[in-house]
Amino acid sequence: MMTDVLTDLPAHYLSVADLTGAQFEALLDLADELKGERAARTAAGEPLARDTLAGRTVAMIFEKPSTRTRVSFQVAVSELGGHPLALSATELQLGRGETIGDTGAVLSRYVHGIVVRTFGQERIEELATAATVPVVNALTDLEHPCQALADLQTFREAHGGFAGRSLAYVGDGNNVAHSLMLAGALVGLDVRVGHPEGYAPDPEVVARAQALATDTGAEVVVTTDPVAAVTGADAVYADVWASMGQEDEADARLAVFAPYQVTAELLSHAADDAVFLHCLPAHRGEEVTAEVIDGPSSRVFDQAENRLHVQKALLARLLV
């Protein structure tokens, strides 16, 4: 069943909502399989590389700095037997005014897939329209769809499934919040977003997530009350208060977001077995206390690791 679902993937992965719920969960199943295989091979001292992407090159364009995204994608392509080609905007003619559409059209003549970490969603959509090879969204200002795959893999590892469960995101209604709402809606996981006034998620994304949720029975709720968002949740999620490109707002945001800091007291309103999630990098003492992120409920490094496994699963099916 999994193979049938995954042979019908869309041409590109630009948004979580490009997938069906069955495809999303099938990718998680494959990621679990690849994670187990990697652990077994590592323990046995065996080579990790497959030949799934043998003879294929994947270009990775980074218009924003990256640690986890760059390293996890580069390792993913390598372990699938392909050749990763990491490129910064300054290394391309993008830095001298070439359109991103032309860049996508040209790279399609050389490579077999393109991974892009950029700013506006319209940039990756323009590139994908011009490209003739699969394009993967490695982060835009609107969405972080690969992160959402890793987030829900980590959630499922902790709780076994999604039915009857809930995840609370507390903080800025940003790209991570958007992808979490869409992902939860697809798989039947309730998602509650608690945000300060003026920092709500994009209403169009909220409406889209709520529409998707009608098919799965999930609930997507947006509130300005952090306690209401967290109460009874099976996972509590935080992200930095000032994302890349918002550095000049950082000081102003500190006061606005202070009531939304994930502390032990806020976490106490969640379920007894709730886990703490964060896409990293984290600022201890700002969006989360060290007591929480370094405490027993934290799964942030499992979550970071899972970026590798879900991206291997995605590339293994999208590029073959």
- 317, 85 Cβ separation under 8 angstroms: no
Active site residues: 117, 144, 147, 239, 279, 307
Residues 61-110: pLDDT tens digits? 999 889 999 999 999 999 999 999 999 888 888 867 899 999 999 999 99
Residues 259-317: pLDDT tens digits? 999 999 999 999 999 999 999 999 999 999 999 999 999 999 999 999 999 999 999 99
Q: How crowded is residue 20: how many other Cβ atoms within 10 Å of its Cβ?
A: 16
The residues with which 139 forms a beta bridge, in sequence order, are 117
**Domains 2-143+305-318 and 147-299 in one fold:** yes
Q: What is the pTM of this model?
A: 0.96
3-state secondary structure of 92: coil
Per-residue pLDDT at 248 exceeds 80 = no
Compute the distance between CA of residue 286 and CA of residue 176 in angstroms, rounded to an integer.
17
Q: Under CATH, to which class is 2-143+305-318 assigned? A: alpha beta
Q: Is residue 250 packed enough to be buried (19+ CB in 10 Å), middle (13-18) or exposed (0-12)?
A: middle
Region of residue 220 (left: phi > 0; alpha: psi -120 to 50; beta: else): beta
281 upstream amide cis, omega within 30 of 0: yes
Parse the chain into domains and list their residue ranges.
Answer: 2-143+305-318, 147-299
Angle at 124 between CA 2 and CA 21, to 5 degrees: 25
Compute the distance between CA of residue 91 and CA of residue 145 in angstroms, rounded to an integer.
25
Is the CATH code 3.40.640.10 the one for domain 147-299? no
Q: How much is the average pLDDT of 201-221?
A: 98
Q: Which residues contact 35 (CB under 8 A, 6 or more apart)?
A: 306, 309
3-state secondary structure of 62: strand
137: tokens are 């969204």
Please report the pLDDT score of residue 1 as a whole number: 39
258: tokens are 């202070």
